[in-house]
Structure 1
Amino acid sequence: MSALVLTHARAQLIETARTPIAVIGSAFWPAASMLAFVVPFVGSDPVYATYATASMVTFAVMSTNLFQYGVGVAEDRVQPWEPYVRTLPTGALPRFAGRLLSGFALMVFSLLPVVLIAWLCTAATVTPLSFLVALIATFVISVPFIFMGLAIGYSVPPKAAVVVAQVLFFPLAFGGGLMTAPGSAPGFVEDLAPYLPTGASVRLMWAAVGDYPLQIGSILSLLAWIVVLGGVALWAYRRDEGRRFS
């Protein structure tokens, strides 16, 4: 089973690499935001540069998973290969697990420019322990956005998936406070952000890399989003399977 999962993951990565702009695009916006907004404005301040880097990491995690799974799954659903895989004796699990592995690989690729820019061009700094905690937190906060992308991908056709992902992307980024320093967003954003998946995620990242207090409300909100979005993704998958195979 593990060999089959790795084979599917490799196939997914090769398929994605055939469209280089899809790979480059996932890393471009977070890196461009770092260069345009973080480096010139807070790059020389160790505290704010560290928090801003954590925000851009959250930004990259959201964008990569939202589009990778939302648009990617929707496009796969209209290809003959996807329903065929579901009819094989091993089921759809190897294909699904392979997609998750390839998605994690693309997410790491999109994060590398952000980390390199923070290291080379800003005064951001973290201890080895904080870096390890932030790494774990990065994978934790990816879960709700993976589920969100899967829910989109299994619910709507490819053209609609692109629109839905784009419509969700910017409001979630702004409403979650990813564009501002901790405590500096407009009042209504500060009130709303902890209850959005982006706001809850970035607060976990801020707590991982700095002295930002870990907010229980944000943690509970993040867990609630994981459960809710996971349920929606499962419902969308079963609904799609029922339509195709019943």
Structure 2
Amino acid sequence: MSRFLKSILPKARKPALPEELLVAERRVPLEVREHPTARRITMRMTPGGGGVRLTIPRRTARATVLDFLERHRGWVEERLGPAPQLVCDGARLPFRGGALLVVHDPARRLTRLDPPPQEGGDWRLHVGGEPAHTARRVADALKREARRDLEAAVERYATQLGLRPRSISLKDTTSRWGSCTADQRLSFSWRIVMAPPFVLDYLVAHEMAHLREMNHGPGFWSLCRELCPGMDAGRAWLRTEGSGLHAVRFSAG
């Protein structure tokens, strides 16, 4: 073929990389990102352990990427988090160390949260409206409960410390459960309300301790333990079980 024909004919499209992997009979989302300074392929699990993220050098051959994925399939399977759970009528979600059953009643106007009828039973969250809005209504209810629990814990520790934050905000972060800014503003992931209460207590103690110690030095950990003597259990739970709270999906995306 002449050089002229090559210049005017449309270029063959390079086959795209897959957008998901089949691992342990689950379809796992795959993100592939080229990075100008990357010298080798690196792989990480996305927050919550529900997906895979690859960083690759520019112009890495498709076959090289596919071979890398196949060789590391076992690595992904070992680190794969819980299967995503989409919130809908009948869903059973983690909540305050127990479980919360979502009950959708189209005729209901106000959301109502009922405590377990007996020890070890499920909380029940009754929501109304269109089924398409169920997940959003559940998320709104959890945020309200999270704020109630977090503000109560902040007040307890503020009394112990003699210090209060300037503000408290709720977010849906995946990289951290809480933060404290230099101007003493606290932020928490509202999903912490799905964890056992001792975990929430540790998280609040951790961030409140930063009001006095803006570091993670020995003084900080000593103060954190003084505020929350059972901090080790809460810290361990977040490390081993926390990713499961991100598996609860409040949208299909």
Q: TM-score scaled by structure 2?
A: 0.28
As a proportion of its length, which structure holds more helix? 1
More strand per residue: 2
Highest CA radius of gyration, 1 or 2? Answer: 2
